[in-house]
Amino acid sequence: MLGDVYHLFSGGKDSSLAAWILRKLGYEVRLVTITFGVLDNWKYAKETADILGFEHEVVRLPRELLNMAVEMCIEDGKPGRAIQFLHEKALEYVASRSYVKRISDGTRRDDKVPFLDLRKARSLEDRFNVAYIRPLLGLGYKTIRELANSIFVIEERESEKLEKGDYEAELRYMLRERGINPKTIFPSRHMQSRVVGIKDDELGRS
């Protein structure tokens, strides 16, 4: 084993595939799901983590960060800046632990947000003295789809109807609390995925 990597994990297709790849590479993968203490949607990520056989930890970040993100959503009328903000804070929080040497996530080549450009990625590594590993960065959507479909049983639904351990669920809830319909902020036909099983033949790969 090469050592620990702390991997931001929602239970979705992308973060599950990235975790699976990290394990294949020989790392000891420790999944981290972020919560702001508003909902218990982290439990869906935990379910997936258990199914895939990974260690899993729920990390609570300050509610103030979620509030700031809600403001960004309202100001912009769209969620991009807020999700980018929360993801950067999550990475920094995990990276700031003294024993963490490697952090990771499931961001992809074709993602707009969350996404750290080369400058931001290197800055994160330098500020916290960690390696930031993104196993999906060099993969297009076709490759991610064929890999994920060959390994996982995946549930796909519209965002609002799918519960998983991402930032979106708590953002939606907080918007509703503020009397704002989340549909006015989040794109309406935004499909999300959650990994609910692993295919039998996956274990046969070497």
Site string for a second copy, 100-129 (x = CB under 8 A): --x----x-xx-------x--xx--x----
If you write DSSP's letter for every residue of 79-142 in order, what string do you get?
A: SHHHHHHHHHHHHHHHHTSTT--EEE----TT--SS---HHHHHHHHHHHT-EEE-TTTT--HH
What CA–CA distance (Å, rounded) separates 16 from 14? 5
Rank residues 26 and 77 by Cβ distance to a second copy and give the closer one: 26
Amino acid at 98: S
Is the CB of 62 or the CB of 140 nearer to a second copy? 140
What are the tokens at 151?
A: 């390994």
Q: Of 53, 77, 138, 179, which lies in the binding site for a second copy, with binding defined by CB under 8 A? A: 138
Q: How far apart are CA 86 and CA 26, in angstroms?
A: 29
By CB under 8 A, name the one of 59, 131, 180, 198 that touches a second copy.
Answer: 131
Of 74 and 198, the one with the shorter C-beta distance to a second copy is 198
Binding status of residue 147 toward a second copy by CB under 8 A:
yes
Give φ, ψ of 25 to 5 degrees.
-75, -15
Shorter beta-carbon distance to a second copy: residue 40 or 110: 110
| Binding region for a second copy (CB under 8 A) | 2, 21, 24-26, 102, 107, 109-110, 118, 121-122, 125, 131-140, 142-143, 146-147, 150, 205-206
